């Protein structure tokens, strides 16, 4: 046997499953610790995508139970549309089986690798089959499967299948058991929290080995799943063009107009003209060389950008803020959704938010939350185009210090939504450096940076003013004491003065020569609406203005006025009487109110 | 005014200041005090008294700012301190008050300047001089030499002194409180006040006072209040013309201006401190060129000071505009003792007699 034959005898095809077995890191299963996060991430992504397609508000349960030494059972259950029993083994037991790979629209999962990779990972580490329960509606029973993957052939192996009674009307539950550890629990919680921030329409409950976390729903708005669009002539590669051409029975011009987005009569004619092909040709008969010239013609002709509004589903400025507000308590949040842009024929939208203060760490670098198609990116921050773009911004001009990314109590959120998010690898950890994307991120960061700067300078100004007020208030009692010592009179009360300086509401009652005068002065910056209660023996029948209500309690009259008072103005009521009794004001925060009874 | 009456009046006025603040605080008004703005933009010529006084511009000192509140607190402490000092019949100097403020905690003065300014503020508000609050000036007055007999009320009794026969070479030292002085008689035709001790001694040595019936006064640089007060009294009470002899530089012109028109810092006291009739003898910039006096180049500071004087209302006369512009053109300045370049007698035999007759004094 010569060498070539000897080698040939060893050569054979490799199944994807086998390939994965050897290259776990490519899909995010490089360590047992990380496996747990990847599994949950893939399952939750699938659940959210499924709910979105079925227009259901997602309710997702995530469970992690320790079942043995280093062995964990991962459970993810949703209220999605469910999967038909015939499909279940393929969805979970065959790699590269999916519904979204061939569609051009924004979705979380794409290749159909993620969750079956988790099943395979379980099989490799514990040998325990994955358990999948799914029900598609109240009319059909739930099916329970125990699944393995035949690695040699990349086909599902059904260990057991049965109909069961499930209290869920519809939904899917997957249970996978593999070797792992909870060392990355913080990161897992970050993943769930971040997911919840960009999916404020979802409710996620998590039970991490007895440790319960709830991520509540902040919006009842159902997300409409983006619609698939035809490929854009600028974003297509030869392989896809070849496949499309082979299955089409149309003539060239029709093929271009029907098969691609934004190609009209005029563009089609132009493309055909440049390609040098005849309009009458059927595309199925095109040779590879002809397809190549067609492709190059498609890419030279100027075609409007793809219709982003259909195929992309940005979170929206308001929703981002809702999501952030529910998970973080901040002093300031602003968000932006940019207009859609295109890179290599792929539409994309950049969304971003910036938050400041609250419970964020005052020291260290900013919290950077990266998202791609509503999925948090947790690993390889340093290799990500988002990080790179954020670092390129000169944050110092927005009054922040920076070490690459800004430092201080700052939170930055960046979401890249695209029909095809360019990742650096299949584990989808980092966005690849694409100039168009980085440019958009820099622009949105500069815009938000200006907003933050305004907030910071306003806050500093308020702070200064408050410090000034405090300084004055600490001196006033001393002045009052010294002055009364000189004039040899009792020390006057400086409380009303201090209230004025501290911008509060001051209510005062004073009786001079049988006339009771009640004044409420608003020294705050906003109008106040107050109710003044004055309880005394005076009936105040001659009150000006008249009381809004007078209640007789025993031999006392409880007088009530309602007043709207603009900033830096005062409300006054007078009546004749003795002036004894009490004064009370409602409708103003107690911290902002000072009541002074000069008759007391 | 009797001392007792003066004390009562001073106490009353001090209490009034505190009383206003007391009422402001009691009626929930942020306490404040308004004072004339003490800059050269706010001094005006008063036709009646022929001196420069503060105009209508006022600066509001209000406790609404931390700085203003601190100022008021310090002012309150000073008022309280002065009121007690008058009641206890004690007196102190500004410097002493500065040290006493150490005990006022937060309200203590951070610099002597601050307490000086505050006392000047009080003089303005009360329309009384600091002596009324028993505050003694720090600086000692200058000296007088010539045919003048005075009676001084000292702590050890009355003294009658002739300012030539009863004094040594230094002359009679002017006391801090000039109100304790009485002029008895004199044999003089005019008063000549000099900036430097050197010139004062020169005139004394040359017998200028006897030859021309002059009273010599040594200003000692920028004259103390008591010195200016003496000049004013010699001018008004004895009807003697007053001439001022200084160096020929911008700073010396300001010495003249403060004697003749009142100073910017104490414009509230102009009426009792300024001698409106006082005349400037020299050294004039035109003297420098006419007598070819040894001269120094003007420094940048000198030039800036001269230019500032061109915008100072006190120097807004044809004479001063002409002289200052001439000096700016010449670019030089001369000291009064530069006349020695023409011999030690030149200033008393030639220059001064010529100038005095030119000015119509002799």
pLDDT higher than threshold 70 for residue A14: no
Instruction: Determine which of B14, B15, B25, B78 to mutate to test the interface with A (most A C-beta atoms within 10 Å).
Output: B25
CA distances A146 to A61, A77, A177, A323, A326, Å, are: 20, 16, 12, 37, 38
pLDDT above 90 as % of chain A: 30
Instruction: Determine which of B11, B20, B26, B83 to mutate to test the interface with A (most A C-beta atoms within 10 Å).
Output: B26
Q: A531 - beta bridge partners?
A: A562, A586
Is the CB of B106 less than 8 angstroms away from the CB of A487?
no
What 3-state DSSP class applies to B127? coil
- What average pLDDT is seen over chain A? 86
pLDDT higher than threshold 60 for residue B234: yes
Tokens of B160: 């009658």
User: With respect to CATH, is domain B3-136 assigned 1.10.3720.10?
Assistant: no
Fold of A237-297: Helicase, Ruva Protein; domain 3 (1.10.8)
pLDDT higher than threshold 80 for residue B175: yes
pLDDT higher than threshold 60 for residue A102: no
Rounded Cα gap, residues B314 and B50, in angstroms: 11
Q: Give the pLDDT confidence score for residue A109 in this predicted structure.
A: 62
pLDDT higher than threshold 70 for residue A421: yes
Rounded to an integer, the average pLDDT of A287-315 is 81
Q: What angle do CA A306, A278, A260 make, to 5 degrees?
A: 15
Domain A16-215 in this protein, CATH class:
alpha beta
**A471 contact residues in B (CB cutoff 8 A):** 66, 69
pLDDT band at A120 (very low <50, low <70, confident <90, very high): confident
Is the CB of A501 less than 8 angstroms away from the CB of B77?
no
| Nearest residue of chain B to residue A478 (CA atoms) | B73
Q: Give the pLDDT confidence score for residue B344 in this predicted structure.
A: 93
Picking from A478, A71, A143, the residue whose alpha carbon sits closest to that of residue B66 is A478
Q: A473 CA to chain B: closest CA distance, Å?
A: 9
- What average pLDDT is seen over chain B? 89
**CB contact A570 to B (< 8 Å):** no
pLDDT tens-digit profile of A344-361? 878 899 999 999 988 888
Rounded Cα gap, residues A408 and A411, in angstroms: 9
- Considering only residues A242 and B340, tell me which one the structure prediction assigns the higher pLDDT: B340
pLDDT higher than threshold 90 for residue A290: no
pLDDT higher than threshold 80 for residue A538: yes
Q: Give the pLDDT confidence score for residue B303 in this predicted structure.
A: 94
Rounded Cα gap, residues B117 and B336, in angstroms: 32
Tokens of A148: 């393995």
pLDDT higher than threshold 80 for residue A163: yes
Rounded to an integer, the average pLDDT of A298-315 is 80
**A475 contact residues in B (CB cutoff 8 A):** 63, 66, 69-70, 72-73, 106
Rounded Cα gap, residues B315 and B305, in angstroms: 12
Q: In chain A, where does the domain assigned CATH 3.30.230.10 lie? A: 330-457
User: With respect to CATH, is domain A330-457 assigned 3.40.250.10?
Assistant: no
**CB contact B118 to A (< 8 Å):** no
Q: A516 CA to chain B: closest CA distance, Å?
A: 16
What are the E-state strand segments in B165-209? 172-173, 181-186, 190-194
pLDDT higher than threshold 80 for residue B309: yes
Rounded to an integer, the average pLDDT of A3-22 is 72
Is the CB of A497 less than 8 angstroms away from the CB of B22?
no
Q: In chain A, where does the domain assigned CATH 1.10.8.50 lie? A: 237-297
- Distance between first and last Cα of chain B: 37
The kind and range of the H/E element at B322 are: helix B318-330
**B31 contact residues in A (CB cutoff 8 A):** 479, 483
Q: For residue A482, give the nearest of B29, B70, B73 by CB distance.
A: B73
pLDDT higher than threshold 60 for residue A100: no
Q: For residue B31, give the nearest of A479, A485, A508 by CB distance.
A: A479
- Considering only residues A96 and B309, tell me which one the structure prediction assigns the higher pLDDT: B309
pLDDT higher than threshold 60 for residue B1: no
User: With respect to CATH, is domain B143-358 assigned 3.40.1360.10?
Assistant: yes
CA distances A339 to A197, A305, A388, Å, are: 21, 12, 21
- Considering only residues A99 and B56, tell me which one the structure prediction assigns the higher pLDDT: B56
pLDDT higher than threshold 80 for residue A142: yes
Rounded to an integer, the average pLDDT of B279-305 is 93
Q: Give the pLDDT confidence score for residue B151 in this predicted structure.
A: 93
Which single residue is written with the structure tokens 């929290």? A193
Backbone φ, ψ for residue A4 (5° rounding):
-60, -40
Q: Which of A176-185, A304-313, A404-413, A544-553 has the lowest mean pLDDT?
A: A304-313
**A494 contact residues in B (CB cutoff 8 A):** 25
| Nearest residue of chain B to residue A496 (CA atoms) | B28
Q: Which of B99, B200, B291, B319 is catalytic?
A: B99
pLDDT band at A306 (very low <50, low <70, confident <90, very high): confident
Domains of chain B, residue spans: 3-136, 143-358
Q: A171 - beta bridge partners?
A: A135
Is the CB of B107 less than 8 angstroms away from the CB of A478?
yes
Q: What angle do CA A173, A176, A178 make, to 5 degrees?
A: 165
Is the CB of A475 less than 8 angstroms away from the CB of B66?
yes
Where does residue A582 rank: exposed (0-12), middle (13-18), buried (19+ CB within 10 A)? Answer: middle
Length of chain A: 600
Helices A114-125 and A32-54: angle between axes, nearest 10 degrees: 150
pLDDT higher than threshold 70 for residue A96: no
pLDDT tens-digit profile of A103-113? 666 767 655 56
Q: Which of A28-37, A578-587, B105-114 has the lowest mean pLDDT?
A: A28-37
Q: B212 CA to chain A: closest CA distance, Å?
A: 55
Q: Give the pLDDT confidence score for residue A101 in this predicted structure.
A: 55
**CB contact B79 to A (< 8 Å):** yes
- CB–CB of B362/B279 below 8 Å? no
Is the CB of B22 less than 8 angstroms away from the CB of A468?
no
Q: A516 - beta bridge partners?
A: A511, A575
Residue A384: which residues within 8 A CB-CB, separation 6 or more?
A370, A377, A424, A429, A430, A431
Q: Give the pLDDT confidence score for residue A223 in this predicted structure.
A: 76
**CB contact A594 to B (< 8 Å):** no
**CB contact B27 to A (< 8 Å):** no
Is the CB of A476 less than 8 angstroms away from the CB of B77?
no
Q: Give the pLDDT confidence score for residue A8 in this predicted structure.
A: 74
Q: Give the pLDDT confidence score for residue A54 in this predicted structure.
A: 87
- Whether ipTM exceeds 0.95: no
Tokens of B257: 């201006």
**CB contact A564 to B (< 8 Å):** no
Q: Is the previous residue joined to A126 through a cis bond, with omega within 30 degrees of 0?
A: no
pLDDT tens-digit profile of B261-284? 888 777 888 888 899 989 999 899
Domain A495-597 in this protein, CATH class:
mainly beta
pLDDT tens-digit profile of B185-231? 999 999 999 999 999 999 999 999 999 999 999 998 888 888 999 99
pLDDT tens-digit profile of A215-231? 998 888 877 777 777 78
**B63 contact residues in A (CB cutoff 8 A):** 472, 475-476, 479
**CB contact B80 to A (< 8 Å):** yes
pLDDT higher than threshold 70 for residue A140: yes
- CB–CB of A494/B25 below 8 Å? yes
**B66 contact residues in A (CB cutoff 8 A):** 468, 471-472, 475
**CB contact B22 to A (< 8 Å):** yes
Q: For residue B69, give the nearest of A479, A484, A489 by CB distance.
A: A479
Residue B3: which residues within 8 A CB-CB, separation 6 or more?
none
Cβ contacts below 8 Å, chain A against chain B, sum to 70
Q: A40 CA to chain B: closest CA distance, Å?
A: 59
Q: Which of A199-203, A213-217, B130-134 has the lowest mean pLDDT?
A: B130-134
pLDDT band at A144 (very low <50, low <70, confident <90, very high): very high
**A496 contact residues in B (CB cutoff 8 A):** 28
B145 in active site: no
């Amino acid at each position: 046997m010569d060498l070539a034959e000897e080698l040939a005898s060893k050569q054979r095809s490799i199944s994807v499953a086998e390939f994965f077995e050897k290259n776990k890191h490519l899909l995010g299963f490089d360590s047992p610790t990380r496996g747990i996060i990847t599994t949950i991430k893939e399952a939750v992504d699938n659940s959210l995508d499924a709910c979105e397609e079925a227009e259901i508000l997602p309710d997702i349960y995530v469970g992690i139970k320790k079942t043995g030494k280093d062995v964990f059972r991962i459970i993810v259950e949703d209220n999605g549309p469910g999967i038909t029993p015939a499909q279940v083994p393929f969805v979970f037991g065959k790699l590269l089986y999916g519904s979204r790979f061939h569609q051009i629209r924004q979705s979380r999962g794409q290749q159909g690798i993620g969750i079956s990779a988790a099943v395979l990972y379980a099989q490799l580490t514990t040998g325990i089959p994955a358990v999948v329960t799914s029900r598609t509606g109240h009319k059909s029973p739930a099916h329970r499967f125990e699944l393995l993957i035949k690695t040699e052939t990349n086909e599902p192996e059904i260990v057991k299948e049965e109909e069961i009674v499930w209290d869920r009307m519809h939904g899917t539950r997957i249970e996978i058991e593999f070797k792992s550890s909870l060392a990355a629990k913080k990161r897992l919680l970050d993943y769930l929290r971040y997911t919840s921030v960009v999916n404020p329409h979802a409710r996620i409950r998590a039970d991490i080995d007895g440790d319960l976390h709830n991520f509540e729903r902040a919006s009842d708005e159902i997300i409409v799943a983006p619609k698939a669009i035809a490929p854009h002539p600028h974003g297509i590669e030869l392989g896809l063009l070849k496949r499309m051409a082979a299955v089409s029975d149309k003539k060239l011009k029709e093929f271009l107009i029907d098969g691609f987005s934004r190609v009209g009569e005029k563009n089609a004619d132009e493309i055909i003209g440049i390609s040098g092909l005849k309009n009458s040709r059927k595309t199925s008969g095109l040779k590879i060389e002809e397809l190549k010239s067609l492709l190059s013609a498609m890419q030279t002709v100027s075609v409007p950008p793809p219709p982003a509004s259909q195929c992309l589903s940005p979170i929206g400025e308001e929703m981002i803020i809702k999501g952030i507000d529910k998970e973080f308590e901040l002093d300031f949040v602003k968000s932006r959704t940019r207009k859609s842009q295109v890179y290599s024929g792929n539409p994309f939208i950049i969304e971003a938010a910036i938050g400041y203060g609250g419970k964020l760490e005052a020291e260290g670098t900013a919290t950077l939350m990266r998202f791609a198609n509503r999925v948090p990116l947790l690993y390889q921050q340093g290799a990500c185009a988002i990080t790179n773009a954020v670092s390129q911004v000169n944050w110092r001009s927005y009054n922040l210090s920076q070490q690459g990314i800004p430092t201080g109590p700052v939170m930055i959120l960046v979401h890249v939504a695209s029909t095809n998010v360019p990742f650096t690898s299949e584990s989808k950890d980092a966005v690849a450096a694409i100039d168009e994307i980085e440019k958009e991120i820099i622009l949105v960061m500069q815009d938000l940076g200006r907003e933050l700067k305004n907030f910071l300078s306003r806050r500093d100004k308020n702070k200064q003013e408050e410090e000034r007020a405090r300084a004055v208030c600490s001196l006033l009692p001393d002045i009052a004491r010294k002055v009364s010592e000189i004039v040899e009179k009792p020390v006057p009360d400086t409380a009303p003065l201090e209230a004025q300086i501290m911008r509060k509401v001051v209510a005062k009652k004073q009786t001079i020569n049988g006339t009771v005068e009640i004044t409420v002065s608003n020294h705050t910056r906003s109008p106040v609406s107050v109710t003044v209660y004055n309880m005394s023996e005076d009936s105040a029948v001659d009150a000006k203005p008249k009381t809004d209500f007078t209640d007789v309690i025993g031999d006392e009259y409880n007088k009530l006025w309602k007043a709207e008072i603009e900033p830096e103005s005062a409300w006054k009521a007078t009546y004749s009487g003795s002036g004894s009794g009490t004064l009370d004001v409602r409708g103003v925060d107690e911290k902002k109110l000072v009541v002074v009874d000069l008759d007391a | 005014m009797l001392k007792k009456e003066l004390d009562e009046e001073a106490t009353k006025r001090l209490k009034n200041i505190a009383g206003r603040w007391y009422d402001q605080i009691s009626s929930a008004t942020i306490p404040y005090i308004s004072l004339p703005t003490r800059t050269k933009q706010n001094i005006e010529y008063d036709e009646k008294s022929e001196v420069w006084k503060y105009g209508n511009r006022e600066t509001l000192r209000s406790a609404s700012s931390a700085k203003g509140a601190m100022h008021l607190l310090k002012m309150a402490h000073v008022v309280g301190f002065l009121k007690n000092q008058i009641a206890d019949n004690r007196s102190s100097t500004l410097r002493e008050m500065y040290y006493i403020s150490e005990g006022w905690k937060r309200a203590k003065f951070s610099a002597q300047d601050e307490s000086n300014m505050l006392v000047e503020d009080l003089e303005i508000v009360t329309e009384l001089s600091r002596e009324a609050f028993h505050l003694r000036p720090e600086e000692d007055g200058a000296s007088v030499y010539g045919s003048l007999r005075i009676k001084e009320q000292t702590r050890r009794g009355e003294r009658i002194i002739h300012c030539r026969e009863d004094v040594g070479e230094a002359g009679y030292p002017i006391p801090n409180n000039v109100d304790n002085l009485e002029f008895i008689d004199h044999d003089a035709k005019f008063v000549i006040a000099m900036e430097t001790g050197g010139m004062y001694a020169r005139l004394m040595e040359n017998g200028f006072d006897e030859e021309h019936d002059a009273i010599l006064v040594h200003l000692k640089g920028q004259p103390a209040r008591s010195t200016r007060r003496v000049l004013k009294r010699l001018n008004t009470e004895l009807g003697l013309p007053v001439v001022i002899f200084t160096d020929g530089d911008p700073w010396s012109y300001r010495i003249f201006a403060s004697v003749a028109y009142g100073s910017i810092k104490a414009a509230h006291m102009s009426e009792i401190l300024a001698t409106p009739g006082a005349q400037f003898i020299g050294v004039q910039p035109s003297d420098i060129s006419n007598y070819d006096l040894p001269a120094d180049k003007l420094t940048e500071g000198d030039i800036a000071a001269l230019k500032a004087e061109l915008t100072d209302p006190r120097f807004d006369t044809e004479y001063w505009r002409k002289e200052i512009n001439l000096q700016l053109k010449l670019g030089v300045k001369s000291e009064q003792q530069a006349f020695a370049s023409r011999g030690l007698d030149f200033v008393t035999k030639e220059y001064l007699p010529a100038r005095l007759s030119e000015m119509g004094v002799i």
